[in-house]
Amino acid sequence: MILVSVFLPRSRTMALKFRLRESVGMQDRTYTADAEPGDDVTVAGWVHEIRDLGGIAFLILRDATGKIQIKFEKDEMDEDLVETGLGVARESVVEVSGAVEEEPRAPTGVEVTPESLEVVSAADPELPLDPSGKVDAEMSTRLDNRTLDLRKDEVQAVFEIRAEILRATREQFREFDATEITTPKIVATGTEGGTELFPITYFGEEAFMNQSPQLFKQLIAGSNVERVFEIGPIFRAEEHNTPRHLNEATSIDFEGAFCDQNDAMDVVEGVVKAAYEAIAENCQDELEALGLEDEFGLSDDAFPRISYEDAIERINATGELDEQLVWGDDLSTAAEEALGDDVGGHYFITDWPSEIKPFYIKDHDDDPQLSTGFDLMHPRMELVSGGQREHRHENLIEGFEQQGLDPDQFEYYTKMFKYGMPPHAGFGLGGERLVMTILGLENIREAVLFPRDRQRLSP
RNA sequence: GCCCGGGUGGUGUAGUGGCCCAUCAUACAACCCUGUCACGGUUGUGACGCGGGUUCAAAUCCCGCCUCGGGCGCCA
């Protein structure tokens, strides 16, 4: 990514966003975005850069709201002050007090003439990566030094937007009358078998990190709560090596009683669109930092709902695949790409063959070969999988057996289907994949502060 | 799980057997410069992932290990 400008003018909304924090921060500190000409201020932050032109020199101070220029005139100012100010290493934390003056030649139109400067925390002059962005760093170097990496505007913007996506999806779920729940991450059994779970020891007993809140959210949807959502971590022990998989991911889950797969699709479509809208409305500065301000948005059109049968026909018709797909085939990455290019936007694939969907997905009443399962696809990758759930106890037990699972191990789950389980439907949406597709990130690790992948366990 | 490609100063790179006590940028150090905004200029500092092998000669070829990234499978 290329930094658009060293000085990103922060808008009024940005300044307002941070003003709220002042009540809990340094009482007499002014954010750089709030420094107005005529004020006597104390600003505190990181030394972004020092430009020494000889008789005059500038220190660029950066904080969460932006940057401000501190001016040093060597002949006219206290020698110690100049020496301290210009001797400090980049990325050191300093606190500067002085008068803010209007100055058209300054990058933001204002600059501070310092009266005092304190080095709060000196930085090592040799940095493991360059937060000013003049020199790129590799993903691995960046992740090993996330604190420094986040000092770059375009990196910080990703996580501000991620936070906005989470806020907007939460709010949208509330619009759908769903209650936020949290379910256990340490579990006795997996959702779909034990092969892809991280085993742990729980007081001497075998346990696992949960790979999905699926069974728990169903149990709560079957209570009077009816509609639930959860935004939380999921853990998968698969040893994949791709730019779109994580071993710890954030799942955005929904489950609703008296809902069918079409209702679930309505909800997920609403949630995804709410995320796009919230970003367009509240994250202009961040979009600019990422260079996305011109092209950002999502069409108002409904996401097309394409049946599995039509999907394979359409894929075959593109001629992109070496071998024609036949009914019952799962969709390969190449097939998904061919269809994604053909559709050109988000779309659902519905009515999958029952045999390639998990046991808890309900089949169509009039055709047991067809499931109510659906996927929401972004042209670049799968975002969501969902469907109507099997709520009939007998059918559920049968499903376990057909999938080669022992229903006795899941008794905590299946027995609740004996005490009044309404029809219900839901979905799981990949949180990082949502962030990644919305922002066009090349690697899913860009969307997580401290990613867990096959190689990385720390930091 | 199968397959492919990398690892060179702090950072990012050039270099496919001798022309390399290793290129360039940035950083760092010193000096010059009174309006920079990726400031500019001069000089300097600093590196071939680890171990073994082939060769008169290895950053370069071979083997093993460590490590990073990607493709597929599978998935969110």
pLDDT at residue A11 in the model: 45
Residue A23's SS3 state is: helix
pTM of this prediction?
Answer: 0.91
| C-alpha to C-alpha distance for A346 and A379, rounded to whole angstroms | 6
Q: What is the ipTM of this complex?
A: 0.90
| C-alpha to C-alpha distance for A311 and A381, rounded to whole angstroms | 15
Residue A86 pLDDT class (50, 70, 90 cuts): very high
The nucleotide whose C1' lies nearest the CA of A242 is B70
How much is the average pLDDT of A159-180?
97
The nucleotide whose C1' lies nearest the CA of A126 is B10
Question: pLDDT at residue A82 above 70?
Answer: yes
Q: Is the CB of A238 under 7 A from strand B?
A: yes
pLDDT tens for each residue of A201-257: 999 998 999 999 999 999 999 999 999 999 999 999 888 889 999 999 999 999 999
What positions of strand B are covered by protein, i.e. any atom < 7 Å from a CB? 1-3, 10-13, 25-29, 32-40, 67-76
Q: Is A446 a catalytic residue?
A: no
Q: Is A238 a catalytic residue?
A: yes
- Give the DSSP per-residue string, A239-279: ---STT--SEEEEEEEEEET--HHHHHHHHHHHHHHHHHHH
The nucleotide whose C1' lies nearest the CA of A56 is B34
Q: How far is the CA of A91 from the C1' of B21 (A)?
A: 35
Q: Which residue is nearest to nucleotide B31 (CA to C1')?
A: A54
- How wide is the angle at C-alpha A451 spanned by C-alphas A449 and A455, nearest 5°? 150
Q: Is A299 a catalytic residue?
A: no
Q: Is A433 a catalytic residue?
A: yes
- List of residues 6+ apart from A241 with CB closer than 8 A: A453, A454
- DSSP strands (E only) in A144-298: 179-180, 186-187, 199-202, 205-209, 227-235, 248-257
Q: Is A1 exposed, middle or buried (0-12, 13-18, 19+ CB in 10 A)?
A: middle
Q: What is the DSSP letter of A29?
A: B
Q: Do residues A141 and A129 touch, judged by C-beta distance below 8 A? A: yes
Question: pLDDT at residue A13 above 60?
Answer: no
| C-alpha to C-alpha distance for A453 and A323, rounded to whole angstroms | 33
Q: Which residue from A213, A248, A246, A245 is spatially nearest to A231, judged by alpha carbons?
A: A213
* Other C-beta atoms lying within 10 Å of the C-beta of residue A16: 11
Q: Is the CB of A241 under 7 A from strand B?
A: yes
- DSSP strands (E only) in A400-441: 424-430
Residues of chain A (76-105) having a beta carbon less than 7 angstroms from strand B: 76, 89-90, 103, 105
| C-alpha to C-alpha distance for A181 and A253, rounded to whole angstroms | 10
pLDDT tens for each residue of A357-399: 888 999 999 999 999 999 999 999 999 999 999 999 999 999 8
